[in-house]
Amino acid sequence: MTLKQTGRLTDTPTHIETDVLVIGSGAAGMYAALEAAKAGAAVVLADRSLIGRGGATVMAQMTVAAALGEQTPDHWEHHLSDTLGAGRGLCDERLAALLCEDGPRRLREMDGWKVGWAREDGHIKQAQAPGHDRPRCAYVDFLATGPAVSRTLRSRLIAAGGVRRIGDLLIVDIAVRDGEACGATALHLPSGRIVTMAAKAVVIATGGLTGLYRRNSASSNMAGDGYALGLRAGAELIDMEFVQFFPIGHLAPRLVGMDPIMWDPFRYKLGGKLLNAQMREFEQDYATADGRSDGRYVLTRDLATYAITKEVEAGRGSPAGGAYLSFAHVPEAEIRGAFGPVVDRLAANGIDLARQPVEVAPIAHYHMGGLRVDQTLQTRVPGLYACGEAVGGANGANRLSGNAITEAFVFGARAGRSAALRASQSVADWQPEAAHAAIDLLRSATKRDAPNLAAIVVELKAIMADMAGPFRTEAKLRSAAEAIERLKAEVGGVPISSVATFDPVLVDWLDLRNMLLVAQSVIRPALARTESRGAHQREDFPTVDDTWSVNQTVALSNGEIQLGRSAVIAGRAAA
């Protein structure tokens, strides 16, 4: 084994001081930065990728739910009732109410910023989406909601000023002093240098963890960074066993240039049929088990995921291991009308929906769990806030479609304002010691013979998909836990580096440090919850057990995961 220090890491760290540090530049992070700056704070918005390009927002092609009452009369209490229903008794009602009550204001603010919500007869058009009692979901045509949201918020950031935006900056650890968050330590990827940041408040807006799974609908950098950062800083996680799988993620033929979850609105509009290898509709076979349905669909998302998985297990799957989605019964002109220019993008991929079905299969889509926060979006670590998908609790055991972008806006704005308020009441008092542990960790990086970390990332994703995916058993979860322990040993406690700048090996090592911890934070509560509820389905415990109407929490104590239970918070916060 050859040991050699990597050059740049030993350079004197670059130091930055600010009032509020926001980590992650999806919709939640950008909204947080905007609101914090509006409240008078100096803000740094950092992203490991380029600003406004990574994360989930830019990938969100679908709808944004809020009780605007534009399409049909509505009230946020109706939206809340649907959100709590979808959450299967586990929602933190304070957060769910905040999401639903503040949603309309934020969508109108975005409308004023010219995001371009689709309109009809002079009003914002709201579509009916699964699980909602009425048309409530705004969108930007065609499949452009996420990119339009990202672009709009980024333009506002640039116009508003007061926010220093820094891309290619990978946060390694939150700096904590006397139990309070005071900044962060980061790796600047292009230069390979360490950066320390002093901040009076830190906002985690790093999104979810679907990147832990082989097939997922998020960006490559959404593998739970923020959960690991929060855990190591002393924060608690909640509802980590609830990973939402989207039943009809695109599987085959290879489709490039498009989001894998693009089929849903079209299936909804045109009544696309799910067929097994015998070209037979099978959803009805699974409908009797549960009377629920999602509007025009026979099955809810969780049941459709179950049905496809079971058909594949029974040997009736499509060639690539999923189900067929067919629009062959729909007249060609109607397909063109619904899909618009998307038809041409499909044609470029060799897909002609009037003539051939595509193959679809469940895909990791969203994480209900996340950092546990109060109604100011602060974690139990003073000065450490979270927003967007990084937050757990608002959606309980299952998220209502359309709520993800809404929570990004609402929680982002609230976290940004709370962080700015804290910053205005604090004096700068940076102690370099708060960054020493993270700096020492980075500087201990060595070039050495080691397993290919990129291959270990691939292996970890396969383990999570196969053993801790939508359908779980004690045996599968235990084997996942054992496999994670083995991978932890292979990855080791000392960072591995390869080159001085833009080092993908060091990034893989830092990612695996987070991913393996977060994977354990999913597996442990999944093993403990001996029932099936919402997105957590145990084949060995197939029904809801009322004694499990509690939230589970995850925290770190002396480096070990501690599992806890906590009564569900019912009742509202003062807005």
Query: To 10 degrees, the CA torsion angle through 307, 311, 312, 313?
Result: 100
Q: Is residue 253 reached through a cis peptide bond, with omega within 30 degrees of 0 on the bond before it?
A: yes
What is the C-alpha separation between 438 and 484, in angstroms, rounded?
A: 23
Of 66-74, 79-87, 162-170, 541-549: span binding other proteins (CB under 8 A): 162-170
Q: Is 42 helix (H, G, I), strand (E, B) or coil?
A: coil
Of 111-119, 201-209, 255-263, 431-439: span binding other proteins (CB under 8 A): 255-263
Nearest distance from C-beta of residue 274 to other proteins, angstroms: 22
Classify the C-alpha dihedral 105-107-108-109 as positive or negative.
Answer: positive
Of 5-13, 50-58, 223-231, 370-378: span binding other proteins (CB under 8 A): 50-58
Instruction: Output 234 or 322, the one with its CB closest to other proteins.
Output: 322
Instruction: Output 72 or 501, the one with its CB closest to other proteins.
Output: 501
Clarify whether 301 is annotated catalytic: yes
Nearest distance from C-beta of residue 451 to other proteins, angstroms: 10
Burial-class residue 135 by CB neighbours within 10 Å (0-12, 13-18, 19+): middle
8 A C-beta contact, residue 17 and residue 450: no
Buried b / exposed e along 514-525 (16+ C-beta atoms within 10 A)? bbbbbbbbbbbb
Nearest distance from C-beta of residue 241 to other proteins, angstroms: 26
Site map 165..194 versus other proteins, x via CB under 8 A:
xxxxx------------------x-xx---
Site map 412..451 versus other proteins, x via CB under 8 A:
----------------------------------------
Nearest distance from C-beta of residue 7 to other proteins, angstroms: 11
What is the C-alpha separation between 227 and 208, in angstroms, rounded?
A: 8
254 binds other proteins (CB under 8 A): yes
What is the C-alpha separation between 179 and 381, in angstroms, rounded?
A: 7
Selected catalytic residue, list 301, 414, 422, 472: 301
Instruction: Output 371 or 460, the one with its CB closest to other proteins.
Output: 460
Nearest distance from C-beta of residue 246 to other proteins, angstroms: 14
CA distances from 106 to 28, 121, 134, 330, 393 (A): 12, 22, 20, 37, 20
568 binds other proteins (CB under 8 A): no
Instruction: Give the binding-site size for other proteins (rule: CB under 8 A).
Output: 47
Report 493-522 residues binding other proteins (CB under 8 A). Answer: 498-505, 508
What is the C-alpha separation between 421 and 483, in angstroms, rounded?
A: 44
What is the C-alpha separation between 32 and 20, in angstroms, rounded?
A: 10
Q: Which residues bind other proteins (CB under 8 A)?
A: 14, 49-51, 53-54, 58-59, 146-147, 165-169, 188, 190-191, 195, 219-221, 253-260, 349-350, 452-455, 457-458, 498-505, 508
Active site amino acids: 301
